[in-house]
Amino acid sequence: MISRKLRQKIHRVLSGKLWRPRQTVQSCPHIDIRVWQRKGLIVSGMVFSWPGRSGHADDLRVTVEETRVVLRYRVQAYDNITAAVPVTWTPCHFGGQRPWFQCPGRERRRQCGQRVVVLYKVDGFFLCRHCGELTYQSQRQDSLSRLPSKARKIRLRLGGDTALHTPFPPRPKRMHTNTDARLRQEGEEIEYVLLAAMGQKLRHMQQKMDNLTLPSVRVPSNKLRPNR
């Protein structure tokens, strides 16, 4: 019996996607139903245009119905596209309801139907992250490459800037002393690791330069004789 991973690999080979690098969620245009809800657009009968992050769609028009939203847009590869995306609602803990997209993608000949708040435009269609085979930018990096962004986030949370060579800012207002001390300690440890890694890299480069032997150049004997 063929395993699931092997079937997926065969499918990617046949579809020509095996050697194509996976796109990231940061690089794909997307639509967020939470933004529409905050703007009061998720009302049955509402029709609106949403150019925002619709990407290469010339005109994304959204029609809100009772249990779904209908997306109408135009892309170069498929011309006019009409896609119906189901919408479900769940109750919130403190009252009200929260809307969700249900992914219209298909997996194993069945509709995905995963409940998400963001759909990404992949190959001209709005899909969830799993159906679009998307990854996060941080997943392409190793643990050491993630440390600079983590250190910058800590500095921003403490009210400073993203420069790692500057001193830490004073404790922000309304931040607990223990939280401030924990973030500072974590940030200092991360920056110490980055400095140690940089020093190790410089030492490694210096060793490579020291071991580098320049090719010997033979000078013809007639060039060494003084001119008379």
In tens, the pLDDT along 163-220 reads 888 888 899 888 999 999 999 998 888 888 888 878 877 888 888 887 776 566 565 6
Q: What pLDDT sits at residue 55?
A: 45
State the average pLDDT over residues 45-57. Answer: 69
Q: Which helix (H) or strand (E) holds 72?
A: strand 68-75
- The phi-psi region of residue 56 (left if phi > 0; otherwise alpha if psi is between -120 and 50; otherwise beta) is alpha
SS3 category, 16: coil
pLDDT tens figures, 54-100? 444 456 899 999 999 999 987 765 678 889 999 999 998 888 899 99
| Residue carrying structure tokens 């800037």 | 161
Q: Which residue has the higher pLDDT, 155 or 223?
A: 155
For the chain, the average pLDDT equals 78
Distance CA 191, CA 65 (A): 52
The first and second tokens of residue 2, run together, are: 């063929």
DSSP letter string, 123-175: TTEEE-TTTTT-B-GGGGS-TTTTHHHHHHHHHHHTT--S-TTSPPPPPPTT-
| Residue carrying structure tokens 């029709």 | 47
